[in-house]
Structures are given as C-alpha cells and as structure tokens.
Amino acid sequence: MKLEGKELFQSLGGRPILKGVSVQVQEGEMLGLIGPNGAGKSTLLKLMAGIFTGSSNQILLDGRPFPEYPVIDRGRKIAYLGQEGTAHWPITVERIVALGRLPHLGTWQKPTEEDHSIIQRTLRQSGLSHLASRPYPTLSGGEKARVLMARALAVEPELLLADEPVAALDPSHQLEMMDLLRRHCDQGGSVVVVLHDLRLASHYCEHLQLLLDGDTLSVGTPDQVLTTENLDRAYGIKLRSDNLSITEAFALTWEHGSSRTPGVDN
Amino acid sequence: MNTIDRHYQLIALLGSILAGFFLLSLFIGSNPIPVAQAVLDSMRDDPSVISLILTQVRLPRALIALVAGATLGVCGAAMQGLLRNPLASPGLIGSASGAAMGAVAVLYSGWSAAFWLALPAGGIAGSLLATLFVYLLAGRNGGTTTLILAGVAVNALAMSLISLMVNLAPSPYAVREMVLWMLGSIAHGSMADFWIMLPGTLLGWLMLVGTGRALDALTLGEETAITMGINLSRLRRRLFVATALAVGSAIAVTGAIGFVGLVVPHLLRPLVGHQPGKLLPASALGGAILLLAADIAVRLFPAGTEIKVGVLTSLVGAPFFLYLIVQSRRW
C-alpha cells in the first residue's frame, strides 16, 4: 500500500502542531519519524491513522482519498499502536492479540480457523506464547508494549503505524521489536515508526523524516538526514569527537547475543 | 472453541437460574396460594380470587422485576464498557436521577392523580432530558473524565431540584408520595405499569444489540478503537439514547433502585474473561436475577414491615460493592 499526505495541517487546542508537512510511504518501506519532543511526530502519525476527523487534510491511500474508504476498511488496512496504548480490563494476552482480528470480523461473525492460526502465529513470533493466558495488568511494562504490538501485527495490516514502540524495552527486546517491524516490511507491508533512538532509526529504516516545529526539516536516507547541521538545528546536539563520522556514530554497534531472551521462540 | 462453549454454558446457567427465580416469585407472597389451581382458574371465564392474585399481583410484579433488573444490568455493563470504568453505573449519565426528577415533578404538580400515565411519562421525559443535558455538555467529543464530571454535575442538579420540590411540597401527603416513590418498589406494580415500561426498555435493549464489538475494541482505548474502524461518536450517541430510554422507562415505573447496574456487571465480569461485549447479555440475565431475588426477599419480611426493594438493593449492594473494590485491589 502507498500512503501519501500533502501539506498536512493540524491544530490541537487552538495551537498549530503541523504546519504543512508532506509525507510519503511506499510499499514495503519502513519510514522513521524522528525529531525533538513536540515536533509533531505523534500528531502526524495519528493523522495518518485517521484519528483526527473533520480536518480538510488530504491523505491518499493507493491514490484514493481517505474518506472514500469505509472506516472498517481502513481498520483492516492500517493498524495503529499509540504511545499511551493500554488495555483497560484485566483480559488475557491472547484475547488482546485476538482483538487485532476484530476489524476483519462482522458484528456476529465468529473468528475463523485462519483467524485463530494468525493469533497463535503472532503470539509465537512476538515471543509471547508463554504469556498467552496471563492477565494484562500482571505483565511488566516491556511485556505490555510487546503485547500491544502483537495486537497491531495480528491485524495483518498493509500499513503499520507505531508510536515509540521501543521506549519501554530493554536492548534485546528493542532489537526483537524492530525485527518484527522489519519482517512486516519484508513481507510487503509498510511501517511508519516514531523513534527517539537514532541508531535504531538509521539501522532499520530505509528513510527518515526529521520533523521540527511542525514542519519537515529533512527527509531521505539516514545518511542524508542525520547530518551535523540537522542534528544541531533539530536537537541542539553535536558529536563529541571530530574523529568520528556521523555514519559511524549512528551505527548500531550491538546485535543479538548467543543467549536469546527467554520466551522468544522464532 | 472452548471459551465460546464456556460462554454459552454461562448464559444457559444464568438463564435457568432466572427461570427458577421467576417461577419462585410467582409462588411466594404474603398469602400462600395454590399456583397450579390459580393458573387453571385464570383460564376460566369467572376468575377466582387466587387467580386474580396470580395474574394481577404476582405476575406483573415478577415481569417488572425481570425487565427492570435486566435493563439496569445491561445498561450498567454498557456504561462501564463505554467509560472503561468499573465504577460507572447506568445512572451516571443522568438517566436515573433525571427519571426521579421527572417523576417527583409530576407528583409535586399533582398531575399523577389527574391521569395515571403522567408519572411514568414524567420519568421517561426527565431521563431523556437529563441524559441529553449530559450529552450536550460532554458526550460528543469530551473525554471520559469530562463525561463523568458532567454526569456527576447533572445528577447533583437533579437531586437538588428533587430536594427543592420535596421542600416546597404542597402537603405532607405529597411529601410522603415523593419519598416513597424514591425508595423504589415494585410491590404495587400492575400489568398496565409493565406495558408502560416495556416499549422503552425493549427499544433500549435493541439499540444495545451489536454494540459489544465496539465495546471490546474500546478495551484498547478510544484512539485505538477509532483506528479499528469504530465510529466512536455514533457509539456514544447510541448508548446514551439506549440507556436514557431503557433506564428511564424502568425507573419511571419502579422508582429508584440502586446498585443493581453497578454490582451485576462487576460480579459477572471475571466469568466472561473481562470481555465487555460478552458481559452485556450476561449482565442482562444477572440483573434480572438479582432484582427478582431482591423482590422475593422483601416479601419474606414479616407482614406489616414493608421493606422497599430499592432500599434492600442499596442496603445489600453498597457493602457488597465495597467488598468487591477491596477484593479487586489486587489488580
């Protein structure tokens, strides 16, 4: 699926947040949204998810504007994982992941065999099989984040929008999570992910879009976006050492070790 | 699947308990009557006294308890699902206190004596009015907290208006009428009362059918639910109208009956795996069971001490609810 938004505007509480940002996601692509706090990353993601209604923004899905799709169709094509995602009842991990199939089922439709196998496969791939019958509130913060990601993956969406999905995770699970997103793209899906870890961003994303103050400061490959000048303008940071190149500085210098995290079985 | 079978088992179990209590409520009263004989008598042209007791006193009483209890149960479950708050009650959005205000206003004005439909009509109108007020204040796009606060404010306003009317009541007799009505009772309900409450409650129930899916999605929060294809403002409108109609119609006939809508969903939630959608039918059955049981219980007190069923549900419900809260603090 291809998503295209031109000159997007959005105000929240009377304050302009997005001031004419354009965004493009190609099929099979992972796009990383980066930028300082308050730059408008989450708002842009929500706009793409269709959470804000009634704005005059034009977002095209495969060339057709958003409103032409019935909401339920959008629910099947696009999955959204919010920054403050949570489950409000102490329901089990398996049932939360099963909610991902909800957009595919009619009001009285029971989950099919295929739905069940997707749920089980997603649990397995997310390393959550051993937690399947645990109530959500008994999980750790990182486990919760992975469960909510598994719910989004179980939608089997064409486009997955994830807002800081690795914020609560340890280094190993950060890699697991990014690998899951990567696999989603390798299978033909697209991902837009908000990240604060620039090394993960430059390692996993084909393209980065650097937002600053509701506008795009730079968009392109990680090398094109993560320049000394952009880093200073957007974040007000610079490299400590002149001997280190930007590419070296943002290289992901670790990977999975020989003792994998318990519970992960892929 | 196993879990689906378990759900049907639960529904079947609750259904049979409900049927049992319904029959029991036909058998129990201040005077023992041979029910089988009464049923046979009621089919004859000249019904006997015992058949009149059955068809004109006990049957409407059981039917009203069933419908009102089911309404409070299912609307409580729907409200808790919508607000994702186990402390929400069907009255939260103003329906119950609005109905009470409408009914008390009718009693105050004296219209209730003028024509018998005035009291329930006033109750339903009050419920719709109060709910509309809450909806306009916070229902369309406001957050959950705004909605709860608006509900609290409108409930307080309705209660203060009720106090004002009791305060200014034209006669001690009117005061007694109002206070007794607010205690909540179905002891003197007639078939006419039942037919009055039925259309509104049925319509409300029908509107709730099929909302379970959206309530399930809401488990993940409002924003995520929207991205799952749920039209949130339409869902809210639907639940508001359904609750106002159903609870308003029920309360208008029974008077204030507390805690059924709060306790029943709370109690049944673990049995349906905490899934808001599956909680709806279970809570309807559970509410009906609880109110029938409470109405049977008040008949067991010695004759002469007429305990109102609304008093009993609150008396038992409040401490029980406290117990549930203490229990659930494990989560």
Q: What is the CATH number of the domain that holds B166?
A: 1.10.3470.10
Q: What pLDDT digit, counting tens, does each position of B97-152 carry?
A: 999 999 899 888 877 777 778 888 899 999 999 999 999 888 666 777 888 889 99
The number of distinct structural domains making up chain B is: 1
One-letter amino acid at B220 equals L
Q: Which of A50, A89, A116 sits opposite B227 (nearest CB)?
A: A50
Chain A residues lying within 8 Å of B275, measured CB to CB: 89, 91, 95
How would you classify the pairing of strands A190-194 and A159-163?
Answer: parallel
Chain B residues lying within 8 Å of A155, measured CB to CB: 228
Q: How far is A246 from chain B (nearest CA, A)?
A: 37
CA A181 from centroid of its chain's CA atoms: 8
- Tell me the β-bridge partners of A4: A24, A60
**Using CB atoms within 10 A of its CB, is residue B39 exposed (0-12), middle (13-18) or buried (19+)?**
middle
> What's the token pair of residue B192?
């006419």
Nearest CA in chain B to A86: B220
Chain A residues lying within 8 Å of B141, measured CB to CB: none
Chain A residues lying within 8 Å of B276, measured CB to CB: 89
Task: Please say whether the beta carbons of A49 and A74 come within 8 A.
Answer: no
Class (C level, CATH) for A3-249: alpha beta
Domain that holds residue B21: 2-328
CA–CA dist B222, B224 (Å, integer)? 6
Domain residue extents for chain A: 3-249
Q: Which of A74, A85, A90 sits opposite B224 (nearest CB)?
A: A85
Q: Within an 8 Å CB–CB cutoff, is residue B238 touching chain A?
A: no
What's phi and psi for A30, nearest 5 deg?
A: -110, 115
Of the residues A3, A42, A69, A88, the best mutation for testing chain B's interface (the one with the most B CB atoms within 10 Å of its CB) is: A88
List CB contacts of B270: < 8 A, sequence separation 6 or more.
Answer: none
Q: pLDDT 10s digit of each residue in chain A, 266 long?
A: 789 998 899 988 889 999 999 999 999 999 999 999 999 999 999 999 988 866 667 889 888 888 888 888 889 999 999 998 889 999 999 999 999 999 998 888 888 999 999 999 999 999 999 999 999 999 999 999 999 999 999 999 999 999 999 988 999 999 999 999 999 999 999 999 999 999 999 999 999 999 999 999 999 999 999 999 999 999 999 888 778 888 888 888 888 888 765 555 44
| Mean per-residue pLDDT of chain B | 88
| ipTM, 2 dp | 0.91
Contact yes or no for A82 and B274 at CB 8 A: no
Q: What pLDDT digit, counting tens, does each position of B195-242 carry?
A: 999 999 999 999 999 899 999 999 999 999 999 999 888 999 999 999
Long-range contacts of B155-163 (CB under 8 A, 24+ apart): B155/B91, B155/B92, B155/B94, B155/B97, B155/B130, B158/B94, B158/B97, B158/B98, B158/B100, B158/B101, B158/B126, B158/B130, B159/B97, B159/B101, B161/B101, B161/B105, B162/B97, B162/B100, B162/B101, B162/B104
